[in-house]
Structure 1
């Protein structure tokens, strides 16, 4: 299993961190951790843009008691554009399906798993959270359709079925092979977590999340075919309400865009947890990004403040790539 420590219990967390902290930096010169470059840049210098509004919004969220981690990497240069506490491991909720999808795609490619193998959901414990399959009459789906549901609709039941089929040890081994040292898939999706259950579905860091999305678009996640398959699934994601709200894309049909925008993302949501990671590329630049905000979900306004920080980042990412 990947080396990842569980986040401290609420009340014993490290002090809130934000852009005014020494750990936050804007860096257009430091080398990023992305391995290799799949293409030479033919675009202008994207690094001249700043993220002043994002820094201010993240500072406000951190001042309210949240723990914030962010990472933006310029894909053409392989450099860090913005980083703050990007090494810190935190709960990432549904974003934990990304390494699961990579393992599923790898087994499809290797022939150890048949994409059209049928899986019966009655073998699983029910999950009443996000997802569509629980509302459908058909109880049996092929594994490849379950992967689509997990990626596009955050379907917990479909993700649990895939995890049941490939096994948690295989996903943990894949995480290690990908070099995601601060990422761990701990458990299946559950409606309620008891004292004997893992406290979270998944853990990761902003650096790991930005790195794995960069690997996907650069055909470096396992193989070009696996990278392309997982990226294709993730371009179907319907949740464009956080960072992605600034793209103006249709949440239900954004695989191709008339304005030359390449975009794929995945979000994670749980009580007091909001996460988004992805890739956004335009004519001027391309970046991988990840933002994790863990906050006290005491009121609607606490939640709205967190959401606004994501949307502010989205606006400035669009300015950076265009």
Structure 2
């Protein structure tokens, strides 16, 4: 009886839906070809409603239903500050080089003094230590470690990351080579991030095994906010978030018993709390659409 009351009190839906969610296991990266994309009026209506409510600033968003290719977007190709989303194309290139044999996941890389930077992460006090590529890629994604990202970027090369991004079709994604004196912020777009996540979810990031490795890394950090803010507790999420003083971004793959969807939401110059609500509502819009269709 106590258990039943607990299930009834958590999130929307029936008891049977909650029970199904409790036993739900995320599917592996697909080995089937990705279905063609097509705009969907109902999904667009849900996204338009979800992204209302910013008193200032702007939002860019993209949703893709992975079952049937239904899509919706809001200014999805606009170029936005990437914040920590720049770590996703780095991850993609690291995994690709590991697969082709030019980078060994057990190779040790030294954290040098010129790798030091502030912000998120745990490596600020570990200058001079050596960590494996595998450890660094996990820290870069799970803890959004900035130093881990810089160490990996040195190893694989900024040009390689940008070339790979273009090859994947990420037209707005650019990693700035600050060490070479290049100015500006790393950039991306909601449509680029949705494309990259769809590439991973459909097993097309090199191959299904590499894509599955990426998914496992992206699902290590399950947060209680932003994309997950309005989702039932049983929903599985593989995602990456990023934040700057003028940007709050979260992009991910929502895995649920009735289906899966890619959600990418980027905000600029918005009130942080309002941005968080827009991101959460957008993920909920995708979840509800998948569950209703």
TM-score normalised by L of structure 2: 0.79
Instruction: Report the secondary structure of 1:124's partner residue.
Output: helix
**8 Å Cα contact 2:176/2:182 also seen in 1:** no
TM-superposition CA deviations, 1:20-73 (whole Å, max 9, x none): xxxxxxxxxxxxxxxx95489xxxxxx797676763452321xx2312111111
2:152 to 154, 162, 169: 162
1:266 and 1:240, CA in 2 relative to 1: closer, same or farther beyond 3 A?
farther
Instruction: Report the secondary structure of 1:159's partner residue.
Output: helix
TM-superposition CA deviations, 1:242-292 (whole Å, max 9, x none): 11233455xxxxxxxxx4x44200111111101111111222222111111
1:210 to 172, 186, 194: 194
Partner of 1:105: 95
Give distance in 2, aligned partners of 1:240 and 1:171.
31
Aligned positions of 1:134-153 closer than 5 A: 134-135=124-125, 139-153=129-143
Q: Which moved more, 1:283-292 or 1:118-127?
A: 118-127
TM-score normalised by L of structure 1: 0.72
Give distance in 1, aligned partners of 2:273 and 2:214.
31
Partner of 2:279: 310
Q: Which runs of 5+ in 1 are unaligned?
A: 1-35, 41-46, 191-195, 250-258, 297-301
**8 Å Cα contact 2:243/2:249 also seen in 1:** yes
Aligned positions of 1:174-189 closer than 5 A: 174-187=164-177
Partner of 1:55: 48
1:223 and 1:57, CA in 2 relative to 1: closer, same or farther beyond 3 A?
closer
1:295 and 1:53, CA in 2 relative to 1: closer, same or farther beyond 3 A?
farther
Give distance in 2, aligned partners of 1:293 and 1:65.
10
**8 Å Cα contact 2:112/2:128 also seen in 1:** no
Give distance in 2, aligned partners of 1:264 and 1:77.
20
Aligned length: 256
TM-superposition CA deviations, 1:287-318 (whole Å, max 9, x none): 1111111015xxxxx22121121122233333
1:248 and 1:123, CA in 2 relative to 1: closer, same or farther beyond 3 A?
farther
Give distance in 2, aligned partners of 1:224 and 1:175.
18
2:183 to 188, 192, 198: 198
Instruction: Report the secondary structure of 1:141's partner residue.
Output: strand
**8 Å Cα contact 1:239/1:267 also seen in 2:** no
Give distance in 2, aligned partners of 1:139 and 1:245.
37
**8 Å Cα contact 2:50/2:285 also seen in 1:** no
Partner of 1:32: none
1:53 and 1:155, CA in 2 relative to 1: closer, same or farther beyond 3 A?
same
